[in-house]
Structure 1
Amino acid sequence: MQSRETTGVAAEPHWHVLGAGAIGCLFAAGLARGGSDVTLLLRDSGGSGQVIIEDARGNSELTLPVVQTGHCAAISHLLVTTKAYDVGAALAACAGDITDGADVLLLVNGMGLAGPLQKQYPQLRFFLGTTTEGAHRLGPRHVRHAGRGHTRIGRPGQVEAPAWFGQFARGPGRCHWDTDIDSALWEKLAVNAVINPLTAVHRCRNGALAEHAQLREAVAALCREVTQVSYAAGYTDTAQTIEDKVQQVIRATAANRSSMLQDVAHGRATEIDHITGYLLRVAREHGIPARHHQALFDEVTALAP
């Protein structure tokens, strides 16, 4: 078989994946199965690069190269899938290995990270992504793919997808280039801001939010505030559809435990600052109290280890 170099076809980028949790492993495996070269970046040099993905069809296993952050050759394409609060430190740990002009795709929860990072690393090009793929860790690099979803990737102001987007389009599930990625991120944040903190505080699965009258009322109140903030911030589609979107997600993920609930249950930090915290900052900018979201934010913050 001829290589891309011998046939005159440019080699596709080699992707490094920073954050070997559920989503990181899922996308690393998807890219590799699609024919891309993929390396996992880990905090330490120990551990195998074996990745196990479980789904309704059974188990699939593959072994990927593993490199310790800060000890890597030049990184030209980086997929970041850490927790939102870890992004800054994780990126700093491998910044010396990232080449000028590199493309960095942030596939993390919440909003508000890209702007400060672009100012800190002006030599890099940041892309943003959001996914509804359902996945959770069963063990180190052992992931249960609980539900198939959609992934949207984009870059504010960029209409055409970069050449490397084809690697995602044929690899990890259903990926689409989104010319209005900010709206896609806001919609995901809005849904998460309703469901995740409520399930964390009440220690319940997503489906319980539709089963109990008190929780249904809480969902409705949170949605009303999201509608107000979304209209004020210019996210009209989310403002008009948030209640339906939230109910759809609750039904589709009724048996799931939200990531925030899992974090609270395991005594870990949560992403509340980057989800509800961001929504509250936007609300304050437009003079909207958002009292129900503030109360929920305070409750989750009080649960922090």
Structure 2
Amino acid sequence: MRILFLGAGAIGGYFGGRLVQAAAAEEVGFLVRPGRKTQLDRDGLVIESPRAGDFRMPVRTIAAADAAPGWDIVVLTCKAYDLDDAIAAIRPAVDAGTAVLPLLNGMTHLATLDAAFGPGQVLGGLAAIQAVLDGRGVVRHLGSPPSLKFGERDGSLSGRVLALKAAFDQTTIVAEASTDIAGAMWAKLVFLHTVAAATVLMRANVREIAANPGGAAWLARLLDRNAAIAAAEGHPVPAKALEGFHGFFRGAPPSEASMARDLESGGRIEADHILGYLLDAARRHGLPDDMHEAAWLHAKAYETRRAAGRLPAG
């Protein structure tokens, strides 16, 4: 199996790097920008992980001008706001035999990718990993063991999905070939939106929110409303998973969404793709939307202020 990753950052670099380390695929390539290509060609791909061990190895890098077809899987790990640029970058590498596996948050990217490549070529997928690309260009893995879920959106277990799972099974990554990938993506979105909406709106982490009167109950209420939206969309969160989510919030860890960190640092955020998407879904099904509207408006006001150059300096 030949697998191409768009980018070699925290997500693509980690998952692709572990495939390279295990020699688990016929070929693994990284389609990267010129600066990252120069760095990787000089230093190799470097991963630091207290759980799975450190890794440094030369990898195949590909410049945009050299992208060509022949790949079995192309993995996308970009932010939703970069999706159009990502599609343009991978288009020369996608032919009729290529499956596109997006590991983006939310659901909105699926329609965009379907329009670009056709529904039959677009898999569903999600990643669970805590990692960053630091200033040295090193992929630093933090937290729990990374995992992947992916699958055909019609629920079938195709040869390409099973082959991809077999490749990842040779690594330390827990990979699941799902027969209900849409349900899995909705379950993640329920949890992700709860963390993102809460930490963006409150400008605090989960522990700091829960420490205040009514904070824990507010988090639980938002989670239940998100679960109700998923159920209305035809993808109810399994009871065991939902209880696990509630347990997470009852434990009140010092966690915050990457969207909150991006907002605090003055970066771009996925306001419409995550917060706006569930707001629209709540309204579509006539469900309470006040909490969702407040979080989305807060994020959109930030985007407007950022565009006007009115963020605090430094």
Question: Residue 221 of structure 1 aligns with which residue?
Answer: 221
**Offset at 1:257?**
4.1
Taking a change above 3 Å as real, the CA distance of residues 25 and 284 of structure 1, as seen in their structure-2 partners, is: same
Q: Distance in 1 between matches of 2:77 and 2:194?
A: 22
SS of 2:197's equivalent in the other structure is helix
Given that 2:210 and 2:252 are in contact with CA atoms closer than 8 Å, whether structure 1 keeps it comes out as no
Q: Distance in 2 between matches of 1:64 and 1:249?
A: 38
Match of 2:300, as an amino acid?
T
Q: Which runs of 5+ in 1 are unaligned?
A: 1-12
Taking a change above 3 Å as real, the CA distance of residues 206 and 124 of structure 1, as seen in their structure-2 partners, is: same
User: Structure 2 residue aligned with 1:160, among 157, 160, 183?
Assistant: 157
SS of 1:207's equivalent in the other structure is helix
User: Structure 2 residue aligned with 1:47, among 33, 38, 49?
Assistant: 38
Q: Distance in 1 between matches of 2:155 and 2:228?
A: 28
Given that 1:129 and 1:154 are in contact with CA atoms closer than 8 Å, whether structure 2 keeps it comes out as yes
**Offset at 1:113?**
1.4
SS of 1:133's equivalent in the other structure is strand
Matches within 5 A, 1:1-305: 13-35=1-23, 36=25, 37-44=27-34, 46-49=37-40, 50-57=44-51, 59-76=54-71, 77-122=73-118, 125-139=121-135, 141-146=137-142, 147-161=144-158, 162=160, 163-171=163-171, 173-238=173-238, 240=239, 244-250=243-249, 254-304=253-303, 305=306
Q: Distance in 1 between matches of 2:190 and 2:119?
A: 31
Q: Which runs of 5+ in 2 are unaligned?
A: 307-314
Given that 1:22 and 1:141 are in contact with CA atoms closer than 8 Å, whether structure 2 keeps it comes out as no
The count of corresponding residues between Structure 1 and Structure 2 is: 292
Give RMSD over aligned pairs: 2.5
Match of 2:295, as an amino acid?
L
Match of 2:205, as an amino acid?
R
Taking a change above 3 Å as real, the CA distance of residues 124 and 235 of structure 1, as seen in their structure-2 partners, is: closer
Given that 2:45 and 2:58 are in contact with CA atoms closer than 8 Å, whether structure 1 keeps it comes out as yes
Given that 1:100 and 1:124 are in contact with CA atoms closer than 8 Å, whether structure 2 keeps it comes out as no
Taking a change above 3 Å as real, the CA distance of residues 189 and 136 of structure 1, as seen in their structure-2 partners, is: same
SS of 1:119's equivalent in the other structure is helix
**Offset at 1:14?**
1.9
Q: Deviations over 1:279-305 (max 9, x none)?
A: 122222222242101111111222223
Q: Distance in 2 between matches of 1:218 and 1:128?
A: 31
SS of 2:153's equivalent in the other structure is coil
Match of 1:294, as an amino acid?
E
Q: Distance in 2 between matches of 1:112 and 1:260?
A: 17
Taking a change above 3 Å as real, the CA distance of residues 25 and 253 of structure 1, as seen in their structure-2 partners, is: farther
**Offset at 1:253?**
8.8
* TM-score for both structures, normalised by structure 1: 0.85
Taking a change above 3 Å as real, the CA distance of residues 177 and 21 of structure 1, as seen in their structure-2 partners, is: same
Taking a change above 3 Å as real, the CA distance of residues 97 and 124 of structure 1, as seen in their structure-2 partners, is: farther
Match of 2:147, as an amino acid?
H
SS of 2:75's equivalent in the other structure is strand
Taking a change above 3 Å as real, the CA distance of residues 276 and 169 of structure 1, as seen in their structure-2 partners, is: farther
Match of 2:220, as an amino acid?
A
Given that 1:30 and 1:171 are in contact with CA atoms closer than 8 Å, whether structure 2 keeps it comes out as yes
Q: Distance in 2 between matches of 1:216 and 1:251?
A: 7
Given that 1:129 and 1:185 are in contact with CA atoms closer than 8 Å, whether structure 2 keeps it comes out as yes
* TM-score for both structures, normalised by structure 2: 0.83
Q: Deviations over 1:215-262 (max 9, x none)?
A: 323312312321331232222235x56753334445789344421122
Moved more, 71-80 or 183-192: 71-80
Given that 1:110 and 1:271 are in contact with CA atoms closer than 8 Å, whether structure 2 keeps it comes out as no
Q: Distance in 2 between matches of 1:70 and 1:83?
A: 22
Q: Distance in 2 between matches of 1:195 and 1:214?
A: 16
Given that 1:16 and 1:75 are in contact with CA atoms closer than 8 Å, whether structure 2 keeps it comes out as no
Q: Distance in 1 between matches of 2:16 and 2:78?
A: 13
Identity, in percent, stands at 26
Question: Residue 3 of structure 1 aligns with which residue?
Answer: none
Given that 1:136 and 1:145 are in contact with CA atoms closer than 8 Å, whether structure 2 keeps it comes out as yes
Moved more, 208-217 or 272-281: 208-217
Given that 2:216 and 2:250 are in contact with CA atoms closer than 8 Å, whether structure 1 keeps it comes out as no
Moved more, 285-294 or 39-48: 39-48
